[in-house]
Amino acid sequence: MSKDKSLSSAPRASRRGFLTAAGGLAATALASQARAGAGNPANQPPNVPEWTRTLGEGVAVRPYGKPSKFEKDVIRRDVEWLTASRESSVSFTPLHELEGIITPNGLCFERHHGGVAEVDPADHRLMIHGLVERPLLLSLDELKRYPRVNRIHFMECAANSGMEWRGAQLNGCQFTHGMIHCVQYTGVSLRTLLEETGVKPSGKWLLVEGADSASMDRSLPIEKALDDCIIAYKMNGEALYPEQGYPMRLVVPGWQGNLWVKWLRRIEVGDQPWHTREETSKYTDLLPNGKARRFTWAMDPKSVITSPSPQAPIKHGKGFTIVSGLAWSGSGKVKRVDVSLDGGRNWWPARIDGPVLDKALTRFYYEFDWNGEPLLLQSRVQDETGYVQPSKAELRKVRGYNSIYHNNGIQTWHVQANGEVENVEVA
């Protein structure tokens, strides 16, 4: 895994030091123990560990820091059979390994339609035209001269959990719920730029378009554009990552990820929607009667237990156990989260810890003494509008099985007596 020499060279050197001191045979035995996951007793009390007896790396050996090599499995993953090409595909955030509400930039899930555009910011331009008084062409540096806003929001793909419409399919919350991330965006309020250009009274819709090879374009109603949208150039304090739209992307709080156009290059103001491919062929939700909903922008309230989960089994046996999870709503703030241990028959209020922000991920916990018996774990969010997350059966009653998008049904994890966890459906 670790191809980075700066990561592996120092520990290797110190291991050589240990070999000299302790002798070959014992060290080999200990090393194999370490590989088996039991740890290395030579580094445990009462012994003084090797990292106490040697100098570590100096400053700036890693000019841009990386996680510990022991965290090498905390990575984005993809599901090869989902799509025909990696350039128009998706990878998933490792939710089962994360805590709090902020997603590290390098772990934010990706969804591209024409690969990652490597945009030179010196050449990138944002054009605003159409039904405006003063069309505008901005460079990145010019955009940065406009007043800034900082906002923490979740961004969820409309297809998150889409593979689960017909039943339990993928075994892990990274795969079932990992098309989501939540970061702090810094940028310019779209309203500020629309006021600068002066939208004409007939301007009711915006076409927003990316600079990538898919030229991703979507229609956005003017009300939303003037409400809380942002043209962001920073995420979690640093420049957007290329796979997240460097040098600038649209942030559309609470609404489906497809509208968050990356590599944003053009905004055209018009008097009616464009009905682009991404709002006709895609991102329309087929109902059982053969009709399809269009413009299903908002992401409904949703939650998931991230641990325990199939990729994060209980390893400690019975006793005090922490259930950790995420809840969010595209319509506002999370009001409460309940947890069930018996598949939705009985519920207990979860404890929310950390900030509860508008259209942002919210962290919840449920702590209990596990007696070692199998569980059917569920979480259920209610947001400030009163919406209560439905079961999958309740959703299917209205929408059938073929709407692809907007699956916010309650997730069930089957915790087995041995602590292993499985994605299941219950009835």
Strand partners, 218: 208
CB atoms within 10 A of CB 41: 13
Contact 383, 329 (CB under 8 A): yes
Least distance between other proteins and beta carbon 21 (Å): 30
* Pairwise CA distance, residues 146 & 129, whole Å: 18
> 5-22 and 24-35 are packed helices; what angle lies between their axes, rounded to 10 degrees?
140
Which stretch, 84-92, 103-111, 116-124, 240-248, contacts other proteins (CB under 8 A)?
Answer: 84-92
* Pairwise CA distance, residues 398 & 165, whole Å: 13
Q: In the complex with other proteins, which residue's Cβ is closer, 55 or 427?
A: 427
Least distance between other proteins and beta carbon 53 (Å): 28
* Pairwise CA distance, residues 236 & 151, whole Å: 10
216: Cα separation from own chain's centroid: 20
Which stretch, 8-16, 61-69, 141-149, 362-370, contacts other proteins (CB under 8 A)?
Answer: 141-149
* Interface residue with other proteins, options 255, 361, 414, 415 (CB under 8 A): 414
Q: In the complex with other proteins, which residue's Cβ is closer, 133 or 367?
A: 133
Tokens (6 digits) for 126: 């944002």
Least distance between other proteins and beta carbon 331 (Å): 10
What's the longest Cα–Cα distance across the chain? 83
* Interface residue with other proteins, options 11, 221, 270, 354 (CB under 8 A): 270
* Pairwise CA distance, residues 233 & 250, whole Å: 9
Residue 170 interacts with other proteins (CB under 8 A): yes or no: yes
**Interacting positions 190-249 with other proteins (CB under 8 A):** 195-196, 198, 200, 207, 209, 213-215, 217
* Pairwise CA distance, residues 124 & 132, whole Å: 21
**Interacting positions 337-356 with other proteins (CB under 8 A):** 338, 342-348
Least distance between other proteins and beta carbon 317 (Å): 17
Which stretch, 15-23, 24-32, 75-83, 102-110, contacts other proteins (CB under 8 A)?
Answer: 75-83
Least distance between other proteins and beta carbon 140 (Å): 11
Least distance between other proteins and beta carbon 287 (Å): 8
Indicate if the alpha-carbon torsion angle 267, 269, 273, 274 is positive or negative: negative
Q: In the complex with other proteins, which residue's Cβ is closer, 18 or 341?
A: 341
Number of shown-chain residues binding other proteins (CB under 8 A): 108
* Interface residue with other proteins, options 240, 248, 259, 312 (CB under 8 A): 312
* Listed residue (325, 406, 332) closest to 364, CA to CA: 325
Q: In the complex with other proteins, which residue's Cβ is closer, 249 or 414?
A: 414
Q: In the complex with other proteins, which residue's Cβ is closer, 57 or 133?
A: 133
DSSP 159-222: TTTGGGTTS---SSHHHHH-SEEEEEEEEEEHHHHHHHHTB-TT--EEEEEESSTT--EEEEEH
Least distance between other proteins and beta carbon 115 (Å): 9
Residue 396 interacts with other proteins (CB under 8 A): yes or no: no
Q: In the complex with other proteins, which residue's Cβ is closer, 62 or 294?
A: 294
Which stretch, 10-18, 28-36, 72-80, 321-329, contacts other proteins (CB under 8 A)?
Answer: 72-80
Least distance between other proteins and beta carbon 303 (Å): 13
* Interface residue with other proteins, options 113, 151, 177, 302 (CB under 8 A): 113
Helix (H) or strand (E) holding 368: strand 362-370
CB atoms within 10 A of CB 360: 22
**Interacting positions 355-394 with other proteins (CB under 8 A):** 376, 380, 382, 385-390, 394
Contact 311, 173 (CB under 8 A): yes
Residue 147 interacts with other proteins (CB under 8 A): yes or no: yes
Exposed (0-12), middle (13-18) or buried (19+): which is 78, by Cβ within 10 Å?
middle
